[in-house]
Amino acid sequence: MSESTKCVAVLTHRRPAETGPALQILMQVAAASGATVRFAADEVEKHHLEPAPGLELGSPAPSRSDGAGVDICFALGGDGTILTALRTYAGTGVPVFGVNFGEVGFLAAVDRDQARIGFERALAGDFDVYPLPGIRLHATDGDWIAINDVAIQRQPGNRVANLAYSIGDEEVGRVRCDGLVVATPAGSTGYNLANGGPVMAWGVEGFVVSFIAPHSLTARAVVVAPSDRLTIHNLSREEPVDVGIDGRPVQALDPGADIEASFVDGQGMLAQLQGANFYRRLRQKFGRLATLP
Active site residues: 79
Residues in Cβ contact with 220 at an 8 Å cutoff, skipping those fewer than 6 apart: none
- 196 contacts 183 by C-beta, under 8 angstroms: no
For residues 257 and 236, give the distance between their C-alpha atoms in angstroms, rounded to a whole number. 9
Using CB atoms within 10 Å of the CB of residue 228, give its burial: 0 to 12 exposed, 13 to 18 middle, 19+ buried. middle
For residues 120 and 110, give the distance between their C-alpha atoms in angstroms, rounded to a whole number. 12
Using CB atoms within 10 Å of the CB of residue 292, give its burial: 0 to 12 exposed, 13 to 18 middle, 19+ buried. exposed
Q: 16-33 and 115-123 are packed helices; what angle lies between their axes, rounded to 10 degrees?
A: 40
SS3 for 162-222 is EEEEEECCEEEEEEEECEEEEECCHHHHCHHHHCCCCCCCCCCCCEEEEEECCCCCCCCCE
Chain centroid to Cα 85, Å, comes to 8
For residues 209 and 172, give the distance between their C-alpha atoms in angstroms, rounded to a whole number. 11
Residue 73: which of 18, 11, 25, 12 has the closest Cα? Answer: 11
